[in-house]
Amino acid sequence: MNIKNIERVVSPPPHHFVGDGFRVHNFIPSIFSMERMSPFIMMDYNSKHIFPATENPRGVGVHPHRGFETVSIAYKGKIAHHDSAGNSGVIEEGDVQWMTAASGVLHKEYHEKEYSKKGGEFHMVQLWVNLPSSDKMSKPKYQSIVNHDISKYYLPNNIGRIEIIAGEHNGIKGSASTFTPVHLMNGYFNEGSSETFHFPSNFNTALLVLEGKVKINGNQIVDTDQFALFKNDGETFEVTAMEQSLFLILSGEPINEPIAAHGPFVMNTRQEIIQAFEDFNDGKFGELAD
Ligand code: MN
């Protein structure tokens, strides 16, 4: 197998706020286009940030989505969500919420009440995973994946673990079901720990370092909050932790279809975007109180 080499390592672009609760750096599509990272069409990274205590939870109010999935990974802090189908819940530290918006949901995302009252570290990732045209109008659904239920691969001698959210590593299958082939996994490595990963060469692949510092293929350093994009040249790469590290790997088969994106809607054609706005204005996404 050939080495999958690094194409580019980037530092986080300036942050912006989503609502008043998510202080995010956007790697996709601001630096890497939706097409380049397909099926990952958006990645907001809330680097570690301390929010002060408040009685009024910060967040983002009622908004729609159609045509894709949102994947929220909470590392520090807790996120509460409510949607127009009556679903609600809390994403706790280490948990993942995989929401298939598909034909459409209205939802709101806020810091959880008790976390808000105390304030403290907040550290999370939200990814948007595109859906193929055949699934864009399927029924919305949730996968609430608590940390206990995430598949884990332990490195020999317990020098690290890989939490496989989706896809597969060393024969261990991830916990989430996906519409197209997607690998998504967190590595928690002690200093000096090393592991080799394999993904098909055509899969768009990247690694985000959330804590610590890693070395890729023995020569390329990726520091805290940096995002490394791999070339589509080979299948295998090695990650070595230069200090205690936490990193997220994403790899997926590109969905080679036209992308028409506007705000919270990601479809294949402009006509479908117009339809999404019409359906939203006609109340077809349901109702949800602020
Ligand atoms: Mn949302």
The residue among 175, 225, 233 whose CA lies nearest residue 204 is 233
Instruction: Tell me the CATH class for 6-252.
Output: mainly beta
> Residue 64 Cα, ligand 1 centroid: separation in angstroms?
7
Give percent of the chain with pLDDT exceeding 70. 100
> Residue 240 Cα, ligand 1 centroid: separation in angstroms?
34
Residue-wise pLDDT tens digits, 110-121:
999 999 999 999
What is the distance between the alpha carbons of residues 170 and 104, in angstroms, rounded to a whole number?
Answer: 35
> Residue 263 Cα, ligand 1 centroid: separation in angstroms?
11
Does the pLDDT at position 122 exceed 90?
yes
Mean pLDDT of 104-132: 97
> Residue 109 Cα, ligand 1 centroid: separation in angstroms?
7
> Residue 131 Cα, ligand 1 centroid: separation in angstroms?
16
Which run of H or of E encompasses 230?
strand 227-230
pLDDT of 183 reads: 98
What is the distance between the alpha carbons of residues 208 and 203, in angstroms, rounded to a whole number?
Answer: 16
pLDDT of 83 reads: 92
pLDDT of 290 reads: 83
pLDDT of 287 reads: 87
Q: Identify the burial level of 281 via C-beta atoms within 10 angstroms of its C-beta, where 0-12 means exposed, 13-18 middle and 19 or more buried.
A: exposed
> Residue 88 Cα, ligand 1 centroid: separation in angstroms?
13
Distance of CA 31 to the CA centre of its chain: 16
> Residue 32 Cα, ligand 1 centroid: separation in angstroms?
20
> Residue 101 Cα, ligand 1 centroid: separation in angstroms?
9
> Residue 63 Cα, ligand 1 centroid: separation in angstroms?
6
> Residue 228 Cα, ligand 1 centroid: separation in angstroms?
25
